[in-house]
Amino acid sequence: MSSEPFKVGLLGFGTVGSAFAELLEERAAEIERFNGRRPVLGGVLTRSRGNFEEILADADVVVELMGGLEPAREYLLAAMRAGKDVVSANKQLLSQYGEELFETARQHDVRLRFEAAVAGVVPVVRVLEESLSATPIERIHGIVNGTTNFILTEMSNGASYPEALKEAQRRGFAEADPSDDVTGRDAAAKMAILARLAFGTPVHLNDVRYEGIEHLHRDDLEYARELGLGLKLIGTAERRQGGLSVRVHPTFLYSGHPLAAVSGPFNAVTVESETITEITMSGPGAGGRQTASAVLGDVVSAMTGGARAPAPPLPLRLIEDVENAFYLHLDVADRPGVLAAVTQVLGEHDVSIKSVVQRGMGERARLVMVTHQVLESRLRTAIERVGEFEFVRSAPRIIRVIEEEFL
């Protein structure tokens, strides 16, 4: 005699929800074969269909694919309080109410799974929670937003920012309103979640410093190429100065870095630790069916008793001002003495230069440099002074550089 079906209450039936329902049906027999129970769709909730209380009463697991903060938060809390395992793909919710959700999961001894909330299909949540749970992690670098990675890939092939954005929208990689992606806020939410998992300390979306890609120039990518660098929107969470720094910025990478080759709408995460050196995982960053596959993996994990909610939080200081190498772009008058004046000011602020490209363009010249590691506040003071020279023609631009190469 076969066991009872495992009922999935589904909240949300949009891009991911409908793809999830389809995939669930396709994979149900195989899941039953190795798992002994057949997952079946119970009730479905949208704005015009279904009743939450009835869906909850009937469900063995509740899957939230609505997005937004409310009522998603309220429904997930109610489901966990009723003793149900829950699955969500909602990065905004987890990056703002993660501690409340984790605490509720611990109190009611239920599972809260959220693989699809970070880095699309790349199984980084499970790797951090399970495979690397005993590894002291030093740093995570991630390309966790496929839209911006696609735009930057187009720009490195010669497109301007508006052209690249338009192409991303045409191919369905960017929403009509792309603000959350291009401002770096979506990536910041994902880095807050990753930082919590890797370092055990609560990180709210508001704790993450982030910068987007809207201000980038095609020029920057061209000069950087001459210096052997490629540009990515990189999220970083790392131990610094006895605390934790979590940030998202456009960042240059040397070609030997494992993230340098990740192009188009793909995501990737590199985890670094003395005990593992580094591990990089990459895969599609979004897409209904791809995301649905991560969600279904979470449902199976809930069925088979996968990892529990993260342990109670550890206190760790959040550090804002950190050292980095920087790319510096200056638009200056083309005349003798300019480079010497700039390097003198930089030197006075302990900013040392690793490489320089100088190109005359008639009356003006472009001065592009990569610095060695320097505290960001120190570099900003130096740049302010450089910006005061009368020979500087437009505001200096800086972009962070990751110096390490893994060969």
Ligand X SMILES: NC(=O)c1ccc[n+]([C@@H]2O[C@H](COP(=O)([O-])OP(=O)(O)OC[C@H]3O[C@@H](n4cnc5c(N)ncnc54)[C@H](OP(=O)(O)O)[C@@H]3O)[C@@H](O)[C@H]2O)c1
* Residue keyed to tokens 């979640």: 193
- Residues 91-130, mask of contacts with ligand X (x by CB under 6 A): x------------------------x---x----------
Stretch that binds ligand X, among 46-54, 79-87, 150-158, 330-338 (CB under 6 A): 46-54
Residue 110 contacts residue 80 (beta carbons within 8 Å): yes
The alpha-helical segments, DSSP class H, found in 111-246 are 124-126, 146-156, 161-170, 179-182, 185-199, 218-226
Which residue, 65 or 399, has its beta carbon nearer to ligand X? 65
Instruction: Give every CB contact of residue 258 below 8 A, 6+ residues apart in sequence.
Output: 268, 270, 278, 280, 406
| Number of residues forming the site for ligand X (CB under 6 A) | 24
Site string for ligand X, 135-154 (x = CB under 6 A): --------------------
Residue 190 among the catalytic residues: yes
Residue 109, token pair as written in the block: 């001894």
What's the closest the beta carbon of residue 234 comes to ligand X, in angstroms?
19
Taking contact as CB under 6 A, which single stretch among the options 30-38, 85-93, 260-268, 299-307 is the one that binds ligand X? Answer: 85-93
CA 76/CA 69 separation, integer angstroms: 11
**Closer residue to ligand X in complex, CB, 228/288:** 288
Query: Does 35 help bind ligand X (rule: CB under 6 A)?
Result: no
User: Could you say whether residue 264 binds ligand X (CB under 6 A)?
Assistant: no
- Out of 7, 84, 91, 190, which one is annotated catalytic? 190
Distance from C-alpha of 111 to C-alpha of 310, rounded to nearest angstrom: 10
Q: How far is the CB of 16 from ligand X (least distance, A)?
A: 4
Backbone angles phi, psi at 378, to 5 degrees: -65, -45
Among 17, 39, 184, 230, which residue sits at the site for ligand X (rule: CB under 6 A)? 17
Q: Is 125 helix (H, G, I), strand (E, B) or coil?
A: helix
Contact status, residue 206 vs residue 191, Cβ threshold 8 Å = no
Query: Would you tell me which residues interact with ligand X (CB under 6 A)?
Result: 12-17, 45-48, 65-68, 71, 89-91, 116, 120, 286-288, 291
